[in-house]
Structure 1
Amino acid sequence: MEEARAGARGTGVRGWRRGLLATLVASAVVVPLSAAARPEIPAPAPAVLGPLTAASLDEAYAANRANAAEASRMAAAHGDRHRASADRALATPARHFIAFDGRGDGRATEVVGDLAHADRVAVLVPGSDTSLDTFERFRAGAAALREELERQAPEGTRTAVVAWLGYRTPGTVSATVTTTGRAERAAPHLRDLVRRLHDITGPEAHVSLLCHSYGSVVCGRAAAGLDVDDIAIVGSPGTGADCVDGLRTPARVWAALGGDDWVANVPHVSAELLGTTVGFGTDPVSPAFGARVFAAGTGGHSDYFTPGSVSLANLARIVLGETSEVTRA
C-alpha cells in the first residue's frame, strides 16, 4: 500500500513537472501581442575608442561621459524625460565607463575603483529587467561590493568592481526569460570583456564573476575558457549546465540562495525545442550540481548586494581569495 502511495506521489510530481514544462515551452515559442517593443530612443553611436589599456582609461572615461551627455540631450528632445535623466546621471564627472551605448535598452560597463592598478577585480553580471533606465540600482550593488572589499581587503590589496550591462536582459515576465537565447548571444561579449580587463590590469590580476539571477545563465554559457579565478552565482534559476563539470571551467564555482528568494520555487527543468533550450536544469545549490554552496542569509532575490548582509560579506571574501573565511550554508 505504501509503495502504491509513493508511486502515486511520484506520478503526481512527474505530471506536475511535465505540465509546468509544457507551460514554459508554450511561453517560449508564442510571442504575445502585448510584448511590443518600446519605441527606439535616439542616441549617438558609441564613442570610437582605441585599445583599452591602463594608460588609455581616462580618455575612454571622458569619451563615454560625453557620449552619455549627448544621449541625454537627444532623449530629452525625443520627449523621453526618464531616459534623459538616467543618461544625465551617467554623464557626471564621478562616473567611469569603459563602454556606453545609449541606444534602445542601452549598454554600459562602469568601473568602481581604480581598475588600472587593481589586483582583484569583480565583474557583476546582472539578471532580468536591467537596462539604462534601471542602471542606478545595478550600480548601487557594485558600489556596495567595492566598499565591502575595501573594508575587508588586507593592506596593499587593490580592488575594483565592474558593473557590466553588456547584453539585452530579458524581462522578468516574458518568454525570453525562460530560454537561453539572450545568454547565448551575451556570452561572447562577456568573454571579450574579461580579455579586455586583463589587457588593462595585466595577466596577474585575479578576476571573479558574480552572476545574479538570469546573469548566471550568461555566465554558464561564457564560462568555458574564461580566464577567471572564481564564478559565484546567486539567486540562480540554473546555469544551463547539469553540474559544475558541464561549465568546463577551471575556476572555483560558488552558489548561494537567500532564504526569502522566490527563485527557490522555480522548478529546475530543461528541454530542447526547435533549437532553443527552455529552462535551465539543475539547481546550482543542490549537491548534484557540485558548487561550493555559501551562506546568503535570509534576504530576497534583490538583496545579495545589500550593505551589511551575509551574502555581500561572503561575496567579498570570494573576490579577495579568502576562501577559508567564506561561511557555508
Structure 2
Amino acid sequence: MSSSTHPTVNKASVLRPGGSFYYEDREVPALESDRDVIVRVMATGLCGSDVHYWQHGRIGRYVVEQPIILGHESAGIVVSRGANAVGVEVGDRVAIEPGIACNTCTACRSGRYNLCKDMRFAATPPYDGTLATYYRVPAECCYKLPGHISLRDGAMVEPLSVAVHGCRLAGDLQDKSVIVFGAGPVGLLCCAVARAFGASTVVAVDIVAARLESARKHGATHTYQMSAEKSPELNADALAATAGVSDGANVVLDATGAEPCINCGIHSLAQGGTFVQVGLGRPNLSLPVAQLCDKEAVFKGSFRYGPGDYKLAIALLDSRRVQVDGLVTNEFSFSQVEEAFQHVAGRGGIKSVIYGPDVDVEVANQSA
C-alpha cells in the first residue's frame, strides 16, 4: 500500500499492563481544533523508555495501569489539517514532536515548556504513543523534513533534539573540549552536535568497543573504551591521556545514567567545567560531590527538549552539519513489534525502527 493511500482504520500496537503486546483496530483520530494535524506514521524509532515500560511497567511515577500505545520517535506524512494549521500542508513529510504542553503555566510562559507539569507526552502513561497508523498533534509539533532525509531517518530528529538540548545547556562549545559518555544513539548524536557547535575535541566513551567504531563517523575526534576493572579516577586519568586533555574537559555530557560513567565524568572535568546529565539510569546514585565543589563545576540536568531544539535539529540536518546516516541499523515491519522490542532489549545494533502499518518500505527510505 502506497503512502498516498489512507486506510479508514487506525491499526495500533498496544501494550497490556504486565508486558504483552496485542494489535487492535481503533478509530482514526479526528481533528479536535483548527490547528490540529493528522499524520500518517511511517517510521518510529524505539527508545530505551519504550523498552523500560515493556519490561518493568513503569518509569518513576509513570505507571502502565491500562493498555497503552508506545512509541514517540516518529516521522510521517500529513494527511489532514485544520484550517489554521499554519505552515503545514497535506502531503508534507514531517518529524513529529511528541509532547503537547499546556502553553499557559509558568514553565511554558517562561520558555521552558519541556518542564510543563501538564505535558501530554506520547507513550508516557496515560497518553498513547505513535505505534499506530495515525497520530494527531498541533501544527507546531510538525517539522518539515529536509529533502535529502528519508522518513526512516526522520525518526531520528527526536533523539537528535535531545542531543541539541543537552549541548545547548552546556553553553558555548566553540573550541572547547567535550567528553560524551555512552555511544548509543543519543550519545553519538551528542558527539555530532558538539562538533557541529564548534568543539575542538570530542571524546566518545563506552565500555563496548563495537559501539565506539561508529563514533568517529558521528563527530568524535577521539574514543576511549572504559574499563570495568578500573576505578573512576584511573579511567579518568587514562581517558585524559588518550584524548590529550590533561587539564580535564571543559564539558562532559553523560548519555548513560550509569554511576561509574558519571563518577568518571566528574573526575574528568576541568576546573570550572560543566557537566550535563542527558541520560537516565537508577534514580539515586552516589556521586563525588567534593570533586564538583573543588572544581566549582556546574552540574545540570537535561530533560527532553524545549523551544527551538527541534527547529535547530532540522537545520543541522538540512545543512548537513550533522549526519544521521548509519544510525538506523535494524528495521522491523509493524507485524514484528515484539521482535523489535526484544532486539533492542538485547542491545542489538545502534537504532531500531518500526515501520507503520502497511507502509511501503521503499517509500519510507526515499528522500523527497
Report the TM-score, using the length of structure 2 for normalisation.
0.26
Which is richer in helix? 1
Report the TM-score, using the length of structure 1 for normalisation.
0.28
Structure with the greater relative contact order (CA < 8 A, sep ≥ 6): 1 or 2?
2
